[in-house]
Structure 1
Amino acid sequence: MSQEITVHGTVAGGFEAVREEFAAFVAGERDDYEGQLCAYVHGRRVVDLWAGAEADSLYGVFSSTKGAAHLVVALLVQDGTLELDRKVTYYWPEFGAEGKGSVTLRELLAHRAGLVGIDAGFSPEEMADDRAIAERLADQKPFWRPGTAFGYHALVIGALTGEVVRRATGHTLQEVYEERVRAPYGTDFYLGLPEAEEPRFRTVQPYCPTPQQQALIAAEPTGPHTLTAIAFNQHVARPATLDGYVNSRRVRALGPASAGGVASARGLATMYAAAISELDDRPPLLKPDTVAEVGQIHSVGYDLVARAHKSYGLGFQATADMWHPVLGAGTFGHSGAGGTQAFADPRSGLAYGYARRRMVFPAGAAPENGGFVRAVHRAAQAA
């Protein structure tokens, strides 16, 4: 443990307890800890803290990428370019093979399509390329009858919804995101990291399970051909590690929309602030009806892939139910395997982003987020 890591940054008046919570956590961490915490309330930045690196360091944010991807889908639904209750085949006819013809865009976004991977698995080159993933998935038979259950489409949901976006607009999801979200706000959240920004990227460090954690892993092995293995592409001869995935320059350059994004905590929080609040003299990206639609729970209960209780809105996690019950109903966002957490709580006006370098065990929102979120939300309520 180290007491020497310096916490940098600022908090607004009334948010001093957030800095204390962050500093107390950092003080108990290993001396190689790197992390950032940022939050907005009603479009005003109220927390901007970092330790172990720089304020603008960039991290692989794994599945928090899905939040950026599905903000694009929400914008296109709001525009009328996409319709949630249209069949996916209306936009992408080839998708209908092998009994998938009845799947709607709404069901796809809610992880109900049963298309979590392919029997043969994907090559490393394909895993970086959403177009290649979508082409392979179009011919795959779903693993459950679409609409009857749900399971986390961990590494493919962004490719699936991205192909719908491409067919409907003539542009990739990444291109629409760049034009409508990232560039206008100068947001440090990239779906496709330019070469010029590479020096700011911090290589993801894998987690190191304790002996007790290793025993837990050994006690609950995942079979090589389970839904879980297929969804995480672990049934191939030489499966990639999660840290190896985002540490690949090819993945960072192409920005696959399921898990290939790169961001700082500022980038995560800014994107969600722009979604629900006036920011930089611009109106919120999403209208109230759209916010309510994407945050409404569409799938809740036993997740066939995660083998646990999960809940999803439309492309987003139902963050209050899954992670932070202190948050308001309709909170939407997405965590990432490395410990990342990011969301918007429309009821309090809170937009939150946390990123760290070393992965956590088990993969998902890092446990320290619990204390950070409670502290930020309490201060936001009092503001």
Structure 2
Amino acid sequence: MGFVRGTVAPGFETVREEFAAFLSEEPAATGSQLAAYHRGVQVVDLWGDDVGGDTLTGVFSVSKGAAHLVVALLVQDGVLDLDAPARSLPFPLSVRELLGHRSGLIGVDGGFSVEEAADDRLVAERLAGQKPYWAPGDGYGYHALTVGALIDAELRAVTGRSVQQWYASLLRDRFGLELWLGLPEELEPRFRPLLPAAGPAFVPDPASLMAVAFNTARFDLLDYGNTREVRALGASSGGGVGNARGVAGLYAAALRLLGGDTITTFSRPYAEGSDLVTGEIDHFRLGFENLPLTYPFLGRRTIGHGGAAGSLGWADPDAEVAYGYVRRRFGYPGTENARLGEAVITAALGR
């Protein structure tokens, strides 16, 4: 329902048509934005319904993609060693295993308050006294609200700087990205709240590992994403705020900065088998999601990460495409990303 605004480069008209078709089929306004780069040039900048191109909203776990790109750059520069013992953990585990969701520290007994979950340092402090939910290194499971805090603790231990500080200097400030891990107060007028799903929301079994990982006993993800303190501190597991331009720009920057060996390292399937939290199969590469498994049109070296409301960002180095999609209304996993992403790739390969 809604109409499309924005621009596309010549050759990408079919992307606009696909975006318009998707919006017309939705029963409720999604507040969607779509952006893409090809060979370093922005070729798609579209938005629809009740948002503008510069509207900001919560992007949830797309934030993890920003955090993992920071890690990839620091590994590339020799600052971090993937096979070194993680200095931030009280038990033996490598940095590589930490990134691969293998620590077992998916949450804490009793859960986090919103105020705790908003702050990577407070999350890390709670995790330091928590017994892992499985033996560290034995299997993997999605650390939905904790992997960013664990990464942040590791960066602080090794470099003395936070994920947010590294992200600002390496990526956001350098490229002028409209994607923040810590939204300044003066930008709050551009923020639009996330909206509930148009249909019934999935509720995990309270006794499950998924309920622990998503902290369902203490707060709803919608409330988390709409809390100012979460936006202000920019928790790197899910507190990021931005728009599609910012997400696509992030991955365009990744294609520019990451060397071939680094991309190969971080795009190689790492966490194989069944995810102990979500039950998904072969869910992760090194930190990033195994997106080619979900989107077969993507090249095997694609890196990226999605977010709870249906937002998604990725970089396909073989197609030389960077993609960003953001939506206000919950619609996870954002099934429209398959049709929109394929339209972008098809247009790029046809140029």
Q: So what's the TM-score if we normalise by structure 1?
A: 0.89
Deviating beyond 6 angstroms after TM superposition, the runs of 4 or more aligned structure 1 residues are none
Aligned to 1:343: 314
Of structures 1 and 2, the larger Rg is shown by 1
* CA drift at 1:32: 3.1
Q: In the aligned structure 2, how far is the partner of 1:275 from the partner of 1:32?
A: 31
In the TM superposition, what are the counterparts of 1:93-242 in structure 2 within 5 Å? Answer: 95-96=89-90, 101-210=91-200, 222-235=204-217, 239-242=218-221
Q: In the aligned structure 2, how far is the partner of 1:31 from the partner of 1:227?
A: 32
Q: In the aligned structure 2, how far is the partner of 1:379 from the partner of 1:147?
A: 42
Structure 1 contact 275–285 (Cα < 8 Å) conserved:
yes
SS in 2 for 1:312: coil
The Cα RMSD (Å) is 1.4
Q: In the aligned structure 2, how far is the partner of 1:41 from the partner of 1:197?
A: 29
| Unmatched 5+ stretches in structure 1 | 277-283
Structure 1 contact 318–330 (Cα < 8 Å) conserved:
no
Q: In the aligned structure 1, how far is the partner of 2:251 from the partner of 2:165?
A: 19
SS in 2 for 1:113: coil
* CA drift at 1:311: 2.0
Please say if 1:319 is aligned against 2:316. no
Cα distance change, pair 367–223 in 1 and its aligned pair in 2 (3 A): closer
In the TM superposition, what are the counterparts of 1:1-383 in structure 2 within 5 Å? Answer: 2=1, 5-30=2-27, 32-52=29-49, 53-89=51-87, 92=88, 95-96=89-90, 101-210=91-200, 222-235=204-217, 239-276=218-255, 284-321=256-293, 323-360=294-331, 363-364=332-333, 366-383=334-351
- Aligned pairs, number: 350
Q: In the aligned structure 1, how far is the partner of 2:350 from the partner of 2:56?
A: 31
* CA drift at 1:310: 4.1
SS in 1 for 2:43: strand
| Unmatched 5+ stretches in structure 2 | none
Q: In the aligned structure 2, how far is the partner of 1:104 from the partner of 1:33?
A: 41
CA deviation string 1:237-262 (max 9, x = no partner): xx211110010000000000000000
Q: In the aligned structure 2, how far is the partner of 1:296 from the partner of 1:152?
A: 17
Q: In the aligned structure 2, how far is the partner of 1:250 from the partner of 1:222?
A: 26
Percentage identity across paired residues of the two chains:
49
Q: So what's the TM-score if we normalise by structure 2?
A: 0.96
Q: In the aligned structure 1, how far is the partner of 2:318 from the partner of 2:204?
A: 39
* CA drift at 1:30: 3.8
- Residue identity in the other structure for 1:243: L
Cα distance change, pair 256–6 in 1 and its aligned pair in 2 (3 A): same
Structure 2 contact 100–284 (Cα < 8 Å) conserved:
yes
Structure 1 contact 58–264 (Cα < 8 Å) conserved:
yes
CA deviation string 1:51-77 (max 9, x = no partner): 122110011001111000111111111
Structure 2 contact 113–219 (Cα < 8 Å) conserved:
no
* CA drift at 1:147: 1.9
Structure 1 contact 111–152 (Cα < 8 Å) conserved:
yes
Structure 1 contact 110–299 (Cα < 8 Å) conserved:
yes
CA deviation string 1:26-54 (max 9, x = no partner): 12224633111001111111111111221
Higher mean displacement: 258-267 or 164-173: 164-173
Structure 2 contact 73–258 (Cα < 8 Å) conserved:
yes
Q: In the aligned structure 2, how far is the partner of 1:6 from the partner of 1:25?
A: 10
SS in 1 for 2:37: strand
- Residue identity in the other structure for 2:210: T
CA deviation string 1:6-45 (max 9, x = no partner): 2111111111111110111112224633111001111111
Q: In the aligned structure 1, how far is the partner of 2:205 from the partner of 2:339?
A: 35
SS in 1 for 2:281: strand
Aligned to 1:279: none
- Residue identity in the other structure for 2:238: A
* CA drift at 1:115: 1.2
Q: In the aligned structure 2, how far is the partner of 1:113 from the partner of 1:297?
A: 18
Structure 2 contact 33–243 (Cα < 8 Å) conserved:
yes
- Residue identity in the other structure for 1:183: D
Q: In the aligned structure 2, how far is the partner of 1:202 from the partner of 1:274?
A: 26
CA deviation string 1:124-167 (max 9, x = no partner): 21111100111111222221122221100000000001110111
- Residue identity in the other structure for 1:307: G
Structure 1 contact 316–333 (Cα < 8 Å) conserved:
yes
Structure 1 contact 269–342 (Cα < 8 Å) conserved:
yes
Structure 1 contact 300–309 (Cα < 8 Å) conserved:
yes
